[in-house]
């Protein structure tokens, strides 16, 4: 770590203390951003942590929908995002108008939305899921329920396969997970025959079917923590390696070199500027927040 980096980190920590602020970071953040955070987690844990924090300010080092979820759960807190252009290709793949039209064509269906959606899409949903709780939540829905699931076709297909449901799927995807090449994975497996493959369910079927462990970022990290001396091919976005090597220095991760450009928008400099300026602030209009809070709370209750 350079002395400049050390100095910025110190300033961030000092400002957090002075302003009663917390820095929350997703596992896909740059290592230096994760290292300065008060809390690092997957999207479910970030929502749970936001719900229980007593800080006045939350600096959300994740993508925009994660900051929106925190703003909905904590209307009395100021939620900041270091770089306001940190969007999500998956959330963008289904707009509220799209979902409204889809619902109108299927008025008797329940709407299950992935957390990677805008607040407006959540407001139109019956329940929200993350990759960490999707199977549990969908399994709890009535067996005969007709379900619309969006926006991730890969996660939706995976849930259908694991639960035996026949949810109708929106045709969206995450460009980061969808671009993993199945041929490249075959080659890596030949090169590292001892390695286990860890995959996020946002990956395509050809990847998931070749994997040993499928789950949210937290599930994949936990697996390595429980088997810390193994060799792993990691089929998710860069960043999880930071958390893994913190507690499992002997793990051997085979790098697939696939960063989420949106997650990597945040830097130590932008985290510091965001705390100094208390901007950009992420807000959700009251009416949308009121409607979106119900499916998010339902998810948090059902995840317990
Ligand atoms: P997790 O819920 O596993 O943290 O995933 C979030 C995400 O954006 C995956 O691309
Ligand atoms: Fe969105 Fe994909 Fe980035 Fe996750 S990895 S935040 S789904 S673009």
Q: What integer pLDDT is reported at residue 255 of this predicted model?
A: 84
Tokens of 243: 């958390």
For the chain, which residues score pLDDT lower than 50?
A: none
Euclidean distance between CA atoms 166 and 144, whole angstroms? 10
Q: Is the CB of 115 under 6 A from ligand 2?
A: no
* Position in ligand 2 atom list of the atom nearest CA 62: 6
Output the average pLDDT for the chain: 97
Euclidean distance between CA atoms 296 and 117, whole angstroms? 12
CA of 114 to the centre of ligand 1 (A): 10
Q: What integer pLDDT is reported at residue 34 of this predicted model?
A: 98
| 41 alpha carbon, closest ligand | 1
CA-nearest residue, atom 8 of ligand 1: 116
CA-nearest residue, atom 4 of ligand 1: 42
Euclidean distance between CA atoms 204 and 190, whole angstroms? 20
The answer to whether 62 and 27 are in contact (CB under 8 A) is no
Q: Given ligand 1 and candidates 69, 93, 113, 116, which is best to mutate, with the most ligand atoms within 8 Å of its CB?
A: 116
The answer to whether 258 and 85 are in contact (CB under 8 A) is no
| 93 alpha carbon, closest ligand | 2
- CB within 8 A of 251, min separation 6: which ones? 224, 228, 229, 230, 231, 232, 244, 245
Q: Is the CB of 61 under 6 A from ligand 2?
A: no
Tokens of 64: 């925009």
Tokens of 80: 């900041």
CA-nearest residue, atom 7 of ligand 2: 174
Q: What integer pLDDT is reported at residue 38 of this predicted model?
A: 98
Q: Given ligand 2 and candidates 263, 264, 265, 266, which is best to mutate, with the most ligand atoms within 8 Å of its CB?
A: 263
Residue 35 to residues 27, 48, 152, 274, Cα–Cα distance (Å): 11, 20, 30, 17
CA-nearest residue, atom 6 of ligand 2: 88
- Could you report the per-residue pLDDT of 96-113, keeping only the tens digit for each? 999 999 999 999 999 999
- Could you report the per-residue pLDDT of 28-68, keeping only the tens digit for each? 999 999 999 999 999 999 999 999 999 999 999 999 999 99
Report phi then psi at 195, rounded to 5: -75, 145
List the beta bridge partners of residue 293.
Answer: none
Q: Given phi > 0 = left and psi -120 to 50 = alpha, else beta, which region is 83? A: beta
Tokens of 130: 């993350």
Q: What integer pLDDT is reported at residue 216 of this predicted model?
A: 97
CA of 88 to the centre of ligand 2 (A): 5
Euclidean distance between CA atoms 37 and 223, whole angstroms? 23
Q: Is the CB of 116 under 6 A from ligand 2?
A: yes
Euclidean distance between CA atoms 40 and 45, whole angstroms? 8
From 110, 100, 95, select the one nearest 149 (Cα to Cα): 110
Euclidean distance between CA atoms 74 and 284, whole angstroms? 11
Q: Is the CB of 201 under 6 A from ligand 1?
A: no
Residue 137 to residues 140, 148, 186, 267, 274, Cα–Cα distance (Å): 5, 14, 33, 35, 36
| 258 alpha carbon, closest ligand | 2
| 238 alpha carbon, closest ligand | 2
| 222 alpha carbon, closest ligand | 1
Euclidean distance between CA atoms 202 and 176, whole angstroms? 9
Q: Is the CB of 263 under 6 A from ligand 2?
A: yes
């Amino acid at each position: 770590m350079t002395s400049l980096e050390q100095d910025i980190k110190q300033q961030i920590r000092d400002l957090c203390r002075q302003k009663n602020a917390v820095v929350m970071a997703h596992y896909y953040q740059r290592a230096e951003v994760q290292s300065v955070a008060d809390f690092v987690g997957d999207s479910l844990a970030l929502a749970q942590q936001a719900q229980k924090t007593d800080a006045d300010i939350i600096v959300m080092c994740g993508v925009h929908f994660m900051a929106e979820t925190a703003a909905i759960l904590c209307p009395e807190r100021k939620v900041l995002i270091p770089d306001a252009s940190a969007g999500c290709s998956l959330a963008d793949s289904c707009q509220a108008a799209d979902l409204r039209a889809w619902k109108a064509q299927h008025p008797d269906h329940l709407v299950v939305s992935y957390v990677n959606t805008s607040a407006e899409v959540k407001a139109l949903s019956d329940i929200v899921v993350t990759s960490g709780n999707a199977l549990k939540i969908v399994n709890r829905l009535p067996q005969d329920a007709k379900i619309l699931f969006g926006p991730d076709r890969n996660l939706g297909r995976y849930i259908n396969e694991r639960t035996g449901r026949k949810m109708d799927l929106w045709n969206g995807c995450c460009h980061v997970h969808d671009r993993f090449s199945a041929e490249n994975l075959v080659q890596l497996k030949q090169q590292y025959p001892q390695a286990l493959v860890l995959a996020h369910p946002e990956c395509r079927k050809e990847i998931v079917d070749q994997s040993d462990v499928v789950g949210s970022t937290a599930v994949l990290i936990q697996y390595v923590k429980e088997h810390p001396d193994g060799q792993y091919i990691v089929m998710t976005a860069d960043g999880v390696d930071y958390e893994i090597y913190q507690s499992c220095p002997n793990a051997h991760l085979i790098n697939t070199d696939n960063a989420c450009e949106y997650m990597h928008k945040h830097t130590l400099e932008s985290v510091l500027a965001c705390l100094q300026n208390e901007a950009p602030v992420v807000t959700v209009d009251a009416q949308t927040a009121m409607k979106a809070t119900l499916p998010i709370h339902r998810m948090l209750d059902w995840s317990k």
